[in-house]
Amino acid sequence: MTAKGVSERGKKVLLDFPALAALREHDRKGIDEILGIVEGCAEYKREVALPRALQLDQRMEREPDYFDWETMREACRYNIFSLAIPKVLGGLAEKYMITGMALAVEELSSACGGIGLALAAHSLGVAPVIASGAMAHWDTVLHEIVEEEKKGNPVVMAYGITEPSAGTDVEEPEFLEVGKIGMEAKKVKGGYLLNGRKCFISGGSEAKYFTVTAATDRSRPLQTWTTFLVERDMEGFSTPRVELKMGQRACHAAELLFEDVFVPDSHVLGYEGDGMANGILIIMAASRGPVGAIATGIARGAFEHFLAWTREKRNGKRPIDEDRIRMTLADMLGSIQENRGLFLNHSFGGDAVFRGAFTHPIFLSTFLIPRTIRTSKPYSAFLNSYYGKALVNALFRYFIKDEDVTDMLAKASLAKFTCADNAMALTSRALEVMGADDSPQRPWVEKAYRDAKLTQIYEGTNQLNRLVVYNTEIAQSLQVEIPGPFKKGVR
């Protein structure tokens, strides 16, 4: 295999991920696009994230409300806000959108888990707009993100599902059915009134747009769970607080408050009642693997700082000259490579699931229609109608199979909990070996330890993800269905 025309960082990626190198022999253009994304993230890491990470973490411990917008504006230079947006709309997502996302967030998180999360959480907010096939909003919201990014103005999205009395419950059908749901969307003329709270929402205090799930009947949450597109300037919406966090501080965890927030019918993503499938499970099937990549990036950053520590002399000796330290380093490297195998396995599989729908000529041909027509009221009204949504869902169901999404969810959950647990074990081991040594590297490893902990909690706790793997792979009691007019999306 040759790596002609590939940057030094790209060559290192091909060495770290032999599967990419093998695939490049058959699809050079596609893999080189991924390598270009990683190179951009590597430059952002060197120029922006690493120089600020430690000081930013320390400042946000003292000032939890502070947010470094400059790190977000700098990310616009590398099109990071367009990672999850289809290429036909000006974004970067095409054949390998999940793989590109996973490798990008590993690179970003190796500098700072919080900065990596701040950028990844935006793509998570975008995901339900894509997965639900809400094409009426592709030429408005997603177009705005791409165009403003070109000007250096980050337009941020966030994903709101967790409630004060229901965290894990809202991410699994069996639990949602009996969960204590606080937020409700009441049907009124022309739309819905949203009342309640969401909590621990990554990027919630900065986002302009939110994809939010809520029950239209709290006594039947599983049957009425629905996904909405909410805009910050809607009357009655506010973000009253952000949390004082232990780790990943560079990304706020905010509370969202809804007080009679009117959301028009056009802002329902999918159909009323299909939110568990297109608002939760399909999103988790795509995003939990990249969360494993975040954990891997944090572990990799800790490994790099720990390795630097082992090479420093103390009392005339270097720790790395001891066999026990060398074996520890080998174990750490093995753990990182195990993680990479798991999240890449998920990413390749996920890209294969979605590729047909987003790269097929039928899909692409819809964007040959002039944008002035696509954004016209009659065209948007059709796409938002029952029949317009049915047409888009029919296309999705043709290319995306229920069993493939279910398998994807299983692989995503497996990668998520394994990568997160491995990251915690690696960072813990590094601190244990370093002891109380006062080294410039220790604050970095301590930060990585705190950052890694959160990856065991968000995107479903690791306990929940283990149950999802059991329910999908072993008991086979959980299957995701692509939603349609007559299908609720879960069985």
What is each CA distance from 65 to 81, 232, 243, 250, 452, in whole angstroms? 22, 18, 8, 10, 22
Task: Please answer whether residues 7 and 39 qualify as being in contact, where contact means their C-beta atoms are separated by less than 8 angstroms.
Answer: yes
Name 238's bridge partners. Answer: 257
| Cβ-based neighbours of 39, under 8 Å, separated by 6 or more | 7, 9, 10
CA 400, CA 25: separation in Å to the nearest integer? 27
Mean pLDDT to the nearest integer, 123-137: 93
Top mean pLDDT of 196-200, 273-277, 435-439 is at 196-200
pLDDT at 392: 85
- Cα 171 vs. chain centroid, distance in angstroms? 15
pLDDT tens per residue across span 417-455: 999 999 999 999 999 999 988 899 999 999 999 999 999
Q: Which tokens go with 380?
A: 């948007």
**Rounded-to-integer distance, Cα 55 and Cα 52, Å:** 6
Using an 8 Å Cβ cutoff, are 64 and 18 in contact?
no
Higher-pLDDT residue of 339 and 395 is: 339
Residue 485, pLDDT > 70, answer: no
In percent, the amount of the chain with pLDDT more than 70 equals: 97
- State the chain's mean pLDDT as an integer: 94
User: What kind and span of H or E run contains 194?
Assistant: strand 191-202
Dump pLDDT digits (tens) for 278-318.
Answer: 899 999 999 999 999 999 999 999 999 999 999 999 888 99
User: Does residue 401 have a pLDDT over 50?
Assistant: yes
Q: Residue 340 contacts by C-beta under 8 Å, 6 or more apart in sequence?
A: 16, 17, 106, 296
pLDDT in tens, 201-242: 999 999 999 999 999 999 999 999 999 999 999 999 999 999
Read off the pLDDT band of 490 (50, 70, 90).
low
Ordered by where they begin, the domains of the chain are 8-156 (1.10.540.10), 159-272 (2.40.110.10), 276-474 (1.20.140.10)
Residues 6+ apart with CB under 8 A from 64: 242, 243, 244, 245, 249, 252
Q: End-to-end alpha-carbon separation of the chain, Å?
A: 45
Flag whether pLDDT at 60 surpasses 90.
Answer: yes
Considering the chain, what percentage of its residues have pLDDT values greater than 90?
86
Half-sphere exposure of 159 (CA within 13 A, CB side): 25
